[in-house]
Structure 1
Amino acid sequence: MKKTILITGTSTGLGISIAVEAAKAGHHVYATMRNTDRRAALDQAAAQAGVELTVLPLDVQDSATITPVTDRIMRDHGRIDVLINNAGMGYARSLEQADEADIQRILDINYTGTARCIKAVMPHMRKARAGHVINITSVGGLVGQPFNEVYCGAKFAVEGLTEAMASYVTPSFGINFTAVEPGGIRSEFANTVLRQIEETGGMLDDEYLPILQKYVSGSQTRMGEGIYQTPDEVAAVVMRVMTDPEPPIRVRSSDWAEEFTRIKTGLDPDGTRQQQMVVKTFLL
């Protein structure tokens, strides 16, 4: 079945791969990004794949840019079948060192931006009694990691949002929610984090410095340990989830991510047992 899909954060990496793969599968794809002047990479990938998609401006930090997109999709097709919340931003710095404005920005892009987009599509999906919200989170939404506490906190929040809405919106209105949890992705995302360290003061000469140096120097070693996937590999998992008639509430995108989070997910890999317990506790 051809679906109408709204995707955020499609100017680079995973967003491009998801948009192109969805278009190749024959779906109506609305690929959005904060600044459409940065659409060249997406256009090139779409041209190489021989597919067409609609590119629109959408800033997850500004509700005034989200509503026009959902209105446009409803005018064009009368429904929004899938929302893929892919827009995100990494941040690597200790909480003690972090500027409060940076903390607010990371939370706003990674968590509140996701919530804004879900809020915008919910009336349409609820009326249709159907839909699927796919939130790209991270293993960092399950397991806290060094110097990533601000980022992990935001992704933990998205995990909670996903679980909570799945507990009552799914059984009541037929709208599914899934958190896709990659490990590392070989894209601009990792490079952006390293640039961000430099742009926000670099490696500060304090007691955290030797720990941060160990963390950063180990990144090259970790490249060969199965942590990092290509954007296309993660996009394939998103596509599989999107076509699943009974999609999981959470899913890891690689064997490494599965193993890394196994202590937390081992008893309930896809989140359905916990959902059933929540429903039984609060709604039955």
Structure 2
Amino acid sequence: MKKIVLITGTSTGLGLKTAILFGMQGFKVYATMRNLEKKEALLKEAKEKNIDLHIEQLDVSDSNSIQKCIKKIIEQNGRIDILINNAGAGFVRTTEHASQEEIEWVTDVNYFSVIRTTKAVLPFMRKAKQGHIINISSVGGLVGQPFNELYCGAKFAVEGYTESLATYLTEPFGIKFSIVEPGGISSEFANSVLKNVEKTGGLQNDEYLPIFNSYMGSAKKRSENEDSGIYQSPEEVAQVVLKCALDKNPPLRIRTSEWANEFCHLKTSADPDGKKLNKEVIDQLLK
């Protein structure tokens, strides 16, 4: 029996490649995106690889859109085995320069969206006594970085949210949780961040500018250095997501590259996959 997987944000980058990879591995894939006019790239690659995907509209910022999509999947299959919360967006700006609208947007797309989709699938997974929710986070969910505080704050929230769910839903209900933490991904995600900075004129001429220019200069050097190990292809990260999905005892958290592991080493060395702390919390607070 094919496993049913729902993936958000599949129009480009990691989401697109994850949908293709899972389709190639025999999963029944519901690849979703906010704007169905952007489905052509996914359709083209699926056709080239002779994969049958189910492409559906789902806007992670709209609870009604989420409920409508999930209702359709449940009606067709009776269950959702795996939810991959991939939709998200980067954001480079100081707290002072960000508008309230931007602050709410970056938090919504990277954090509240995860809660909305998770909330929508949990009743069905709980009833089935099985399921796996895989949340795409970032090394920015473990390590705060310059000019990324709003993005990192949202990803830190995803990490805490997922850790907490794993303390009381896995043992009694069989619902597994995994957090995938990439470093840099060579995709439209990274390009859109840089384009957004350029579009808004950076920080203009103020006291932050020298620090910001230093950060952007360093980011440009890293992106041009193919040997740095920072940037992975979306396909490489998708392989890690697939590994989590196929693992009968998946990690609570996993970095996707050697560079990502080294970058987060001081935060993760005592408990690389997060399962030791998860067990300790359960033992202290639930037993």
TM-score range, shorter chain: over 0.9
Note the residue ranges of structure 2 that are not aligned, 5 or more in a row.
none
* 1:179-215 CA-partner distances (Å, limit 9, x unpaired): 0000000001111111212333433211111111111
Q: What is the CA–CA distance in structure 2 between the aligned matches of 1:204 and 1:43, rounded to whole Å?
A: 41
Q: Is the 8 A contact 1:114 1:158 kept in 2?
A: yes
Q: Runs of 4 or more off by more than 2 Å in structure 1? A: 198-203
Map of 1:23-172 to 2, 5 A cutoff?
23-172=23-172
The answer to whether the Cα contact below 8 Å between 1:16 and 1:45 also exists between their aligned partners in 2 is no
What's the TM-score, normalizing by structure 1? 0.98
C-alpha distance in structure 1 between counterparts of 2:219 and 2:194, whole Å: 11
Larger displacement relative to structure 2 (192-201 or 227-236): 192-201
Question: If the length of structure 2 is used for normalisation, what is the TM-score?
Answer: 0.97
Counterpart residue identity of residue 164, structure 1: S
After superposition, what is the alpha-carbon deviation per residue over 1:231-250, rounded to whole angstroms, capped at 9, x for unaligned?
A: 00000000000000000100
Is this contact kept in 1: 2:10–2:32, CA < 8 A? yes
SS at structure 2 position matched to 1:251: strand
**1:261 aligned to 254, 259, 264, which one?**
264
- Rounded to whole Å, the distance in 1 between the matches of 2:208 and 2:55 is 42
Aligned residue identity for 1:277: E
Structure 2 match to 1:208: 208
Deviates more, 1:35-44 or 1:116-125: 35-44
Question: How far off its partner does 1:216 sit?
Answer: 1.1
Tell me, what secondary structure is at the counterpart of 2:169? helix
Alpha-carbon separation, structure 2, partners of 1:105 and 1:83: 22
Q: Which one-letter code corresponds to 1:163 in the other structure? A: E
Partner Cα separation in structure 1 for residue 166 and residue 198 of structure 2: 39
Q: Distance in 2 between matches of 1:164 and 1:17?
A: 29
Query: How many Å apart are 1:44 and its aligned residue?
Result: 1.4
Aligned residue among 238, 241, 244 for 2:247? 244
Q: How many residues align?
A: 284
The percent of aligned pairs where both chains have the same amino acid is 52
Q: Is the 8 A contact 2:97 2:203 kept in 1?
A: no
Aligned to 1:278: 281
Alpha carbons 1:182, 1:252 under 8 Å: kept? yes
Rounded Cα–Cα distance in structure 1 between residues aligned with 2:119 and 2:146: 32
Amino acid in the other structure paired with 1:129: K
